[in-house]
Amino acid sequence: MSGPKQARRTLILDAAIRLLASRGLEGVTHRAIDEAAGLPQGSSTYYFPKKEMLLVEASRHLAALLEKDCDELQVGFADIAARQGVDAAVDYVAGEVVSYADTARDLFLARMELTLAAARRPELKDVGDLLSAAARRPIEFFLRLTSGGRTDMPIETCAGLIDGISLMYATGQGPKPTTDQIAAVFRAVL
């Protein structure tokens, strides 16, 4: 699929992600997606006849967005590490995580919503693994690189701490993370 059909499909998936973030899983209906995407009623149903199919494809789209962000983070990290050293690179990554808490709030909340849905709905079981892997990839890359390639790094612990801090902020239950706070998490596990 390419051209206008792919563009419309992407528009629908982007709208689904925004709705997941703002209204939760139950707020994601074909009608709501069509409205949020500015498309005629029935458009999302044409591409994704069943809600399950829509959620799986929205998860794949979200994972691809997270992977793209990860690639950009890795390039920035490698550049700063080469020019200024690992400590500066740790601060860079921490700053990016803090910035991401605001700029990618919808992606984060949609990931949380879909991951919770995957835990409750057998038809979505693979979604949780897909999104968790996409979200943990930059942490795994970063920890392995800064530790000299060690394979015993507590990736899950670090990811859990950062997700928890981010979730508290994204839901209004905690303050915005600081660069020092996120850098301290990374340094603690290194």
pLDDT digits (tens, 9 = 90+) for 108-160: 999 999 999 999 999 898 999 999 999 888 888 888 877 777 778 888 888 89
Determine the average pLDDT of the residues in 79-94. Answer: 88
HSE at residue 34, side-chain half, CA atoms within 13 A, is 14
Output 54 or 81, whichever has higher pLDDT: 54
Determine the average pLDDT of the residues in 164-181. Answer: 93
- From residue 116, alpha-carbon distances to 13, 50, 68, 147 in Å are 19, 19, 23, 32
The answer to whether residue 2 scores a pLDDT higher than 70 is no
Fold of 58-189: Tetracycline Repressor; domain 2 (1.10.357)
Q: For residue 120, count CB atoms less than 10 angstroms from its CB and return exposed for 0-12, middle for 13-18, buried for 19 or more.
A: exposed
Tokens of 91: 């601060």
What pLDDT does residue 143 have? Answer: 83
Tokens of 84: 């200024």
Could you give the CA distance from residue 55 to residue 87 in angstroms, rounded to a whole number? 40
DSSP 93-111: HHHHHHHHHHHTHHHHHHH
Could you give the CA distance from residue 131 to residue 136 in angstroms, rounded to a whole number? 9
What pLDDT does residue 155 have? Answer: 85
User: Taking the CB of residue 97, how many other CB atoms lie within 10 A of it?
Assistant: 24
